[in-house]
Amino acid sequence: MSRSSSIDLVGAVEKVEVVPYRPAWPRLWRHERNRLLDAAADVLLNLEHIGSTAIPGLVAKPIIDMMGAIADGGQRPLLVGKLSELGYVVIPTGMTDRLVLRHTDAAAQLYQLHVVPLSTWPEQHERLMRDFLLRHRQRASDYAVLKVQLAAKHFTDPLAYTKAKTAFVQ
């Protein structure tokens, strides 16, 4: 059975799928970064590849996660307008300090952009975790084992999967 990693924006359940590292992920990230900056460089002050697809060799959900910074929350509508022209849609998360947008390209590759205020950039956990795992390969291997176990256990519950990783991430 093929496991899907996408989310149907009209209410279907997202399924957790963890796959081996794909060497194409850095290239896909660079391509998408260029598209985003071409459309919104005047609003996006920082833009980085985050998440497990940013760690060479690490298993991951096949989603290119990115994090960008804007000057402040007042720029959200401008950014949403610019990125909607690229096919990005806002994902409601309930987080007041973060905007999350998703886009799926013609090849069915999913991209997720987390947008935060520039003032919070240095302490964003996703960036810190990425940097830690890049420096500590054994911990990255430990994290990979955990992700595979949790994906099998929480296949149809992405929230439970994410919560179950919290202790390791912290």
Q: What are phi and psi of 101, to 5 degrees?
A: -125, 150
* In the predicted structure, residue 6 carries a pLDDT above the cut 70: no
Instruction: Compute the average pLDDT of residues 7-28.
Output: 77
Task: Pick one of 3.60.70.12, 3.30.565.10, 3.30.460.10, 3.40.50.2300 as the CATH number of 25-164.
Answer: 3.30.460.10
Among the listed ranges 19-28, 41-50, 127-136, 150-159, which one has the minimum average pLDDT value? 150-159
Residue 1 confidence (pLDDT) above 80 = no
Query: Nearest CA to 76 among 84, 64, 66?
Result: 84
Residue 63 tokens, joined: 């989603």
Rounded Cα gap, residues 85 and 138, in angstroms: 41
Mean pLDDT, the chain, rounded, equals: 91
Nearest-5° Cα angle at 112, 61 to 109? 60
pLDDT beyond 70 at 46: yes
pLDDT digits (tens, 9 = 90+) for 60-85: 999 999 999 999 989 999 999 999 99
Could you state, in order of their start, the residue ranges of all structural domains in the chain?
Answer: 25-164
Q: What is the pTM of this model?
A: 0.88
> Does the pLDDT value for residue 90 go beyond 50?
yes
The predicted-structure confidence for 91-149, as pLDDT tens digits, reads as follows: 998 888 999 999 999 999 999 999 999 999 999 999 999 999 999 999 999 999 999 99
Distance between CA atoms of 106 and 32, rounded to whole angstroms? 13
